[in-house]
Amino acid sequence: MTTTAIGSPRPQSFKEVWLISAGHGLTHWYTATFYILLPLIGKELGLSYTEIGLIMTIQHLAGAISNLPGGMLVDTVGRKGYLMAASLFWIGFPYALMSLTHSFWMLLVCVTLVGIGNNLWHPAAIPTLAYRYPERKGLVLSFHGMGGNLGEALAPFVVGALLAWFGWRAVVVINVVPGVVMASMILLMLGALSMTRSRDDGALNAAAESWNAKKYLHDFVSLLRNRSLMLVSCSAAFRTMTQVGLLTFLPVYLAYELNYSPFVVGICLTVLQIAGFVAAPIAGHLSDKMGRKRVVISSMLLTGATIVGMTLAGRSAWFVVFIALVGFFLYAMRPVLQAWALENTPKNLAGTGVGLQFGIQALGASVAPAIFGMIADAADIYTAFYFLAGTIVFANLLVFFMPNGEVKQATPAVAA
């Protein structure tokens, strides 16, 4: 909560929360679009399950490599609003280039560029929100996560409908427009907002504080030795393995095994994301009140159980019910893990800490699709879904080694 000069409470505006969350929605819009297009691209290029998995592996591997430099860039340069706008453009443009691809290798180049651009967003956005609202980290980061869920919920529905009228190559070109519009809005609106604030109050386009390379390197090494941060990040990596494996191959399963149309596939993914949209603020608020550990453990256990239930449901109507339950529990823990990691990171290294966490997550994400594809080719796709249930269970085991994660009340920010 912000205070006035005489110390009386003054409510904080949530304008930045809504704007940054909307921008986050666009980053996930593009990702969700690609998940819908992937079965069509796979069929056109004659790709195996392993090759489809490798596409997403390369994208997330590029993200893992670029996340840490992205976090360092945020901490050393600042200008978070500009970096967020650049990220949106960098994500959308390579997808448009995919319209020109006619080979597997050209496609890998495009997804590599996407992986790099996508990971400029989080090191800039997450610390901005967390430190602007120190007593409500879990809640505001859940709103940020809800933006991602909303983007991933709307994109399958819209793109599924577009595919009824256009080919996938035309759709990726059309899809550049929302990213360009949103990037422009962020530049204009964040610039206007930052003009009303001093640097001490968190102006989003302010330059970073002066820094010393030797001291920064020493501080960075301390992050690698931070046991709590590394445990949370590794647990988040296994959770992300579950998420990315599911998002990559659920559309493929629905299209290949159940013969669903792109529109129906889009509806199923929308159900998954709507459930996550509902879960995020509930989990974020509860974690602020009850502590991070309780919320994460319960969400992970229930995610594993519902993935098994989804696999067993097969072609029945229960399949869609379990999709919703998976989305609810899987996405509930995402903002909680992010808030937990930030609480174990020094404020001056917030961008680097987020970059480190997302880099480790991206390594997990890069492994999951390839392993899933190989299991599906060697056995069947149902067996591969059981592998995903196992990854979330292992993520939960890591959490048991963490302290309880009870939230310490932060010192309120003081307006300039």
In a domain, 80, yes or no: yes
Report whether 146 contacts 28 (CB < 8 A). no
Report whether 332 contacts 343 (CB < 8 A). no
Total structural domains within the chain: 1
Report whether 66 contacts 354 (CB < 8 A). no
At how many degrees (to 10) do helices 15-45 and 104-118 cross?
170
In a domain, 404, yes or no: no
**pLDDT recorded at residue 191:** 56
CA pair distance 175, 166, nearest whole angstrom: 12
How buried is 197 (Cβ within 10 angstroms: 0-12 exposed, 13-18 middle, 19+ buried)?
middle
In a domain, 213, yes or no: no
Amino acid letter, 141: L
**pLDDT recorded at residue 380:** 81
**pLDDT recorded at residue 338:** 78
CA pair distance 353, 11, nearest whole angstrom: 28
In a domain, 386, yes or no: yes
Structure tokens at 147: 């933006």
**pLDDT recorded at residue 9:** 40
Q: Per-residue pLDDT for the chain (416 aa), expressed as one digit of tens each?
A: 444 444 434 445 677 778 788 888 877 788 778 877 888 888 888 888 788 878 878 877 887 777 667 666 666 666 666 777 777 777 777 777 888 878 888 888 888 887 777 667 777 777 777 777 776 777 788 888 778 778 877 887 788 788 888 888 888 888 788 777 777 777 776 655 444 444 444 455 544 455 556 676 777 788 888 888 888 888 888 888 888 888 888 888 888 877 888 778 878 878 887 887 788 788 877 887 877 888 888 888 888 888 888 778 766 767 778 878 888 887 888 888 878 887 888 777 777 777 788 788 878 877 888 888 889 888 888 888 888 888 888 888 888 777 654 444 433 333 33
In a domain, 407, yes or no: no
CA distances from 138 to 30, 161, 211 (A): 25, 35, 29
Contacts for 7 with CB less than 8 Å, ≥ 6 apart? none
Query: 313: domain CATH number?
Result: 1.20.1250.20
Contacts for 164 with CB less than 8 Å, ≥ 6 apart? 262, 263
In a domain, 409, yes or no: no
In a domain, 256, yes or no: yes
Residue 202: give the domain boundaries. Answer: 11-206+224-399
**pLDDT recorded at residue 251:** 84
**pLDDT recorded at residue 209:** 54
In a domain, 218, yes or no: no
How buried is 295 (Cβ within 10 angstroms: 0-12 exposed, 13-18 middle, 19+ buried)?
buried
